Amino acid sequence: MSRGEDDRVESRESRGGTDGVSRRLPVLTARLRLALLGVVLILVGGAPWWGPLLMRRMDFFRVRRVEITGAHYVAPSDILAKLHVDTTASVWDATTPLAARVATHTGIRTAVVYRRLPGTLVVEVTERAPVAFVPTPTGLRPYDERGAALPIDLARVRVDAPVLAQRDSAVLRFLGRLRTEMPSLYDRVSAVRRTGAAELLLELRTIPVRAMMNVSLERLAEIDPVESDLRRRQLRVVEIDLRYRDQVIARLQ
């Protein structure tokens, strides 16, 4: 073999080796990219688990402030006592147990706790509203529609509600429904008492109204137009009676 032929062989071998390396590099680079992408996906996918665990240890996320919304009748100090957190707690601690503790308060219907970073817990409550005052050995106490006494400090909060002669679960449920669905009429009721096994006397601020215990809201809605008509005719009325089907009886003075 001549020197020229040796050079051509060497040249072909050199080019062949370079092409092999070039082919392998893209394969290795693609595999590396896939591996890195897999690591990133694992880290991102696991962030909801390991993220809070890591941040819970950081002083930056310690609880420094608690905000309470929705509380009117329940004192904020009572809610804080039920929440039972201090500055050693982290906002990344589980919030469901905190909300469950707050909801054990007699005056709280529901509670939700959420975070406002970096160091605030927000407690959002829905209270059990008083629907009537009931006489007790220690004086009038506010009761809710369940028939349960509410721990409301009347020296701190003003409560405007009808007065019952005694605790009556059926009447309390009726007032709860009236307060929710006909608040304008509820606000006019100053007292309620039974006048029979299934009859009520609602003392409105303008006029007494007799009705059955199972009176519908549609039936109660007839009070306003009847009153308006009586005023227009300048008639003095002793009471309105809704006890009779399809009739509204206005007893004149």
Q: Residue 230 — very low, low, confident or very high, per pLDDT cuts 50/70/90? A: confident
pLDDT at 19 over 90: no
pLDDT at res. 21: 52
Least confident of 77-81, 89-93, 161-165, 189-193: 89-93
**Range among 18-27, 37-46, 169-178 rated most confident:** 169-178
Q: pLDDT higher for 102 or 46? A: 102
DSSP-based helix, strand, coil % in the chain, nearest 5: 40, 25, 35
* Preceding omega of 225 cis (within 30 degrees of 0): no
What mean pLDDT, rounded, does the chain reach? 84
Helix (H) or strand (E) holding 116: strand 108-116
- Quote the CA–CA distance of 75 and 82 in Å, as a whole number: 11
Q: Residue 87 — very low, low, confident or very high, per pLDDT cuts 50/70/90? A: confident
245: tokens are 């089907």
- The whole-number average pLDDT for the span 85-93 is 88
What single-letter amino acid sits at 208?
P
pLDDT tens digits, one per residue of 97-121: 999 999 999 999 999 999 998 999 9
pLDDT at res. 42: 46
pLDDT tens digits, one per residue of 134-180: 999 999 999 999 999 999 999 999 999 999 999 999 999 999 999 99
Longest CA pairwise span in the chain (Å): 140
Does 59-127 carry CATH code 3.10.20.310? Answer: yes
Do the beta carbons of residue 130 and residue 149 sit within 8 Å? no
Sheet holding 189-196, edge to edge: 139-143, 132-136, 163-164, 189-196, 199-204, 208-212, 237-241, 249-252
**Nearest residue to 133 (alpha-carbon basis) of 172, 103, 162:** 162
pLDDT at res. 41: 46
pLDDT at res. 53: 61
CATH architecture of the domain with range 132-252 = 3-Layer(aba) Sandwich (3.40)
- Residue 123 bridge partners (DSSP): 68, 113
Q: pLDDT higher for 40 or 135? A: 135
Q: Where are the alpha helices (DSSP H) in the chain?
A: 3-55, 76-83, 96-102, 169-181, 183-186, 217-220, 223-232
**Range among 34-38, 67-71, 232-236 rated most confident:** 67-71
Q: pLDDT higher for 16 or 127? A: 127
